[in-house]
């Protein structure tokens, strides 16, 4: 704590703001008590005044950071509401799938627009996950739960579709291309695509080839995203969902055989 205070005292204005942002969680009650004690024990009035001015500046800066964070959380709520609006009815029970057949495409259009504007950040994903957790705990809002799951699926599909690994020089890697087709498709179409594309159905991609490229894409995602972030969790869960669906289909068809 004393070391942080000394660093703050020695920093110029630009460095000071950076230190506050990086150590914002350290500005707890113990920190302010220690800073006040340091000021009280100063031998010179100039040192005491410097520490008191530092304390006043820090309080203002920390309040500003906390306020901006709160505003960001509020805006994340507004973004989610805007995405859900086409499917959310003015009634207690949210039907799923939506009664309006256009609702899903309107949701996807809104989500894509918000993603282009950079609004689907960690704050947004945190808000979706918090609301999803609440819906699951309530247990009586299956429509809302399904709608929030759909938002996460649309997000994952959008982000994962930005990068293609299906071409290697002049060669088309068919298993990668097949995975990318599934990634871009609505979850409701996965069964048909998997049946048409895998060797256990009508296709030419073996389940093992599909599992291999899914695992490779998961590894790439883990490398390219921040560890422990909501983004990483949502993208990896989406990819694992594709593999789980493929495994279910394989198990059913092999059981029939």
The angle subtended at Cα 241 by Cα 236 and Cα 246, nearest 5°, is 130
153 and 173 share one domain: no
Whether residue 143 lies inside any domain: the answer is yes
pLDDT in tens, 202-245: 999 999 999 999 999 999 999 999 888 999 999 999 999 999 99
Contact 50, 58 (CB under 8 A): no
Last residue of a domain, one of 121, 137, 160: 160
pTM above 0.75, yes or no: no
166 and 155 share one domain: no
pLDDT in tens, 56-95: 888 887 777 776 666 666 688 999 999 999 887 655 567 7
Cis preceding linkage at 140, omega within 30 = no
Indicate the SS3 state at residue 228: coil
**Domain hosting residue 242, numbered range:** 162-257
Last residue of a domain, one of 160, 188, 219: 160
Number of domains within the chain: 3
User: Which of 235, 197, 229 lies closest to 217, judged by CA?
Assistant: 235
196 and 233 share one domain: yes
- Quick one: CA dihedral 89, 90, 94, 95, positive or negative? negative
């Amino acid at each position: 704590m004393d070391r942080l205070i000394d660093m703050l005292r020695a920093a110029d204005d630009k460095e000071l703001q950076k230190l506050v942002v990086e150590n914002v969680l350290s500005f707890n009650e113990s920190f302010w008590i220690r800073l006040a004690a340091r000021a009280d024990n100063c031998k010179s009035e100039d040192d005491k005044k410097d520490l008191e001015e530092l304390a006043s500046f820090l309080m203002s800066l920390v309040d500003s950071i906390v306020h901006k964070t709160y505003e960001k959380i509020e805006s994340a709520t507004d973004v989610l509401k805007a995405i859900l609006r086409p499917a959310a009815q003015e009634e207690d029970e949210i039907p799923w799938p939506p009664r309006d057949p256009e609702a899903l495409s309107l949701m996807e259009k809104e989500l894509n627009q918000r993603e282009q504007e950079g609004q689907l950040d960690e704050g947004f994903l945190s808000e979706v996950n918090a609301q999803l957790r609440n819906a699951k705990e309530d247990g009586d809002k299956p429509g809302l739960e399904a709608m929030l799951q759909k938002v996460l699926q649309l997000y994952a599909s959008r982000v994962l579709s930005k990068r293609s690994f299906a071409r290697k020089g002049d060669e088309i890697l068919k298993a990668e291309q097949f995975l990318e087709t599934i990634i871009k498709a609505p979850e409701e179409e996965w069964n048909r695509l998997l049946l048409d594309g895998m060797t256990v159905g009508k296709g030419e991609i073996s389940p093992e080839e599909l599992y291999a490229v899914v695992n490779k894409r998961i590894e790439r995602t883990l490398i390219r995203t921040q560890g422990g972030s909501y983004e990483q969790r949502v993208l990896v869960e989406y990819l694992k969902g594709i593999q789980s669906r493929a495994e279910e289909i394989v198990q059913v068809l092999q059981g029939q055989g």
